[in-house]
Structure 1
């Protein structure tokens, strides 16, 4: 499908839509008075270009200035495109983690929840994640995107979703205040909740952050249980360096496939690592055309770095329900050529920038 009429915006991730045509259709949708959201229609007047005229494809998303700080305060109702009509229901409102200041907020409508779940499900199946078995997800829920993504993934694979909630904001506060003993006590609290589930339920998929996996591995009974019965581990949130990944994959959990997940609130979904990478190789995360585009740039110039070089990750989310263009993330990564059919860059060896706006980045348990 290459037509850039409004109907193209209803396409799913497996429909083979031309990314540039999709972006052109999205510009007309989000900036037309009858279909755009209050936020974008108001913001358009202050842009130094005309999105409907000047954004002709994926590369032109770089024309947008940094705008995501607006999402800290804009009323969420102002983010809903008028084209959905007055009866549309906002399925979810997600907050960012608040690592770089007050949380930003985005909305999720039913069509995007469906598209996001489809692309995550396809990639999990490509990794051979067992279907129909229970999941244990140890991740932030509530206003955080990741819990929703993982719960929907479990449902798509036909397994019941058991969960242990975590509050990453509280842990970051404890660490920043030097209250490491309280942070450790909170982590122990999470581990005890996991123990009750892992030792009584036939968990087929464990989804957790790197610090939680490392902490679970210190418990002999849980390590034995995970290696003996879990069919796949999905890790995400805090980054995992190649050495840690190799150690976990070859010595700690040698019988359980480890699958990396990279995502955030501004992406409005999660990316699963490219299948086929060895334990000694860094994870590669491909973009998802025509919705999520990645680029790796020099933070000083904004120009894309060469393939194989490290730079700052810039993410654009383009869908019928939300437009979040040209957002500079708090991550660095190595630029990789994307898999066939995907537009933009793939990223490898994702790592957080150590300082944002003069503040040290604290990852904590997530």
Structure 2
């Protein structure tokens, strides 16, 4: 392929592997090597990584040869609480990069961390996600209702793009998970309940007046919806698919929704993090009552399930803490120890990393109590 013009400079032709469409999976080791060239070359790398390379203690360009070497990187996620967002943009995107937004973590474990999301990455992620929705039988060209965070949270942007590209129109009810967590942490559970009911009231108005075919919602809010007989009837009459995520859903609850409460709708779960600019999708074919298994958008997004003390991988079927890696043209963020534990599951054939099941948050993370709330 020809060289790529980057703001007046010419990038090495081998970096074209970073621009593959979502349905063409690159070789994981080749992807990692190309990402090292991109993120640590002065012409294309971000100011953050070019400066951080001076303190790594190894040379990413010569010593990181493949996926297995990502473990050389320290976890720099906490540094993203204070870094100027502009320093996270790879120079290779040029003087006027097409950045969809600056997105923040939920603030569950302290001040939020920030990442930038270029448009090419979001297009690739949503394309992959839409293909998963097709596998699960989500209808195309119907209206969507999203009861999810927006603002600084990437899930709101993913919802909007999914509704436009897989569906028709997207209706949104905003959700502020940080406010709910604050109320709970201050012992104001009654106010948190009132806020959650306020959110459901808004969703109810949309469900009554619009022909909603797909709904995106968090498990705590879906539980509240299930307690309103009118809304259960509306959903069973109108909604053909429900996409859930943001907090865990136990197998018994998911089975109850699928077989008794919302038997007319397809349920499909997501598990993700702002720090990986994306999501993992529920594996197709899980029977009611079985734990949901989440598969990643490998090799761009990968998980490892490890012993939090030793850092070694736990055995398949055992519980450990989740380490997330993101390696793409848009972002390099390896070795991010998440606040969640999970059961380690073998990834689908041909994919690197682990799949995960039975997600559960740790009680404390970075010396902060973990409060899930509504997201």
Which TM-score band (shorter chain)?
over 0.9
Query: Which residue, out of 339, 345, 352, partners 1:343?
Result: 352
How far does the alpha carbon of each residue in 1:128-170 deviate from its partner, in whole angstroms, 9 at most, with x for none?
Answer: 1011111000000011011111111111113210010000000
In 1, Cα distance between the equivalents of 2:83 and 2:147? 30
The answer on whether the counterparts of 1:289 and 1:341 sit within 8 Å (CA) in structure 2 is no
Q: Does 1:36 align with 2:37?
A: no
Q: Deviations over 1:166-217 (max 9, x none)?
A: 0000000000001111111101100110110011111101110001000001
> For residues 27 and 262 of structure 1, what CA distance do their matches in structure 2 show?
27
1:341 Cα deviation from its structure 2 partner = 2.6
CA-CA distance at 1:116 after TM superposition? 0.9
Residue 342 of structure 2 aligns with which residue? 333
Deviations 1:18-40 (A, max 9, x none): 01100110011100111111000
Unaligned runs of 5+ in 1: none
Q: Quote how far apart the aligned CAs of 1:251 are.
A: 2.1
* SS state at 1:5 partner: helix
- Residues 1:109 and 1:322: Cα distance change in structure 2 (over 3 Å): same
Aligned equivalent of 2:177, options 164, 168, 182: 168
Instruction: Give how far 1:4 is off.
Output: 9.1
* Residue pairs, 1:233-244, within 5 angstroms: 233-244=242-253
Partner of 1:298: 307
Aligned to 2:19: 10
Query: 1:310 aligned to 311, 316, 319, which one?
Result: 319
For residue 58 of structure 1, report the CA deviation from its aligned partner: 1.1
Aligned residue runs from structure 1 range 160-239, under 5 A = 160-239=169-248
SS in 1 for 2:324: strand
- Match of residue 364 from structure 2: 355
Alpha-carbon deviations, 1:261-288, whole Å to 9, x = none? Answer: 1111011012220111111111111121
Counterpart in the other structure of 1:137: 146
Q: Which moved more, 1:303-312 or 1:85-94?
A: 85-94
Whether the 8 Å contact between 1:243 and 1:280 is mirrored in structure 2 is: yes
The answer for unaligned runs of 5 or more in structure 2 is 2-11
What does 1:259-298 align with in structure 2 at a 5 Å threshold? 259-298=268-307
- Provide the rounded CA distance (Å) in 2 between the counterparts of 1:313 and 1:72: 20
Structure 1 match to 2:265: 256
Residue 121 of structure 2: aligned partner? 112
Deviation per CA, 1:227-276, whole angstroms, max 9, x where unpaired?
12210110100111122212222222122111111111011012220111
Distance apart, 1:360 and its partner CA: 2.0
Alignment of 1:57 with 2:35, yes or no, is no
Deviation digits for residues 77-134 of structure 1 (CA, Å, limit 9, x no counterpart): 0011111211223221001001111000000111111111111111111101011111
Q: Note if contact 2:38-2:45 (Cα within 8 Å) is conserved in structure 1.
A: yes
The CA RMSD measured in Å over matched residues stands at 1.4
- Cα offset, 1:289, TM superposition: 2.1
1:88 aligns with 2:85: no
TM-score under structure 1 length normalisation:
0.97
8 Å contact kept, 1:4–1:21: no
**Are residue 103 (structure 1) and residue 112 (structure 2) matched?**
yes
Q: Distance in 2 between matches of 1:13 and 1:313?
A: 24
Measured after TM superposition, the shift of residue 9 of structure 1 is 0.8
TM-score for both structures, normalised by structure 2: 0.95
Distance (Å, rounded) in 2 between the aligned partners of 1:358 and 1:86: 39
Output the CA distance in 1 between the equivalents of 2:88 and 2:369: 31
- Aligned pair count reads 365
Deviant stretches of 4+, over 4 Å? none
Matches within 5 A, 1:138-157: 138-157=147-166
Query: 2:139 matched to 1:127?
Result: no
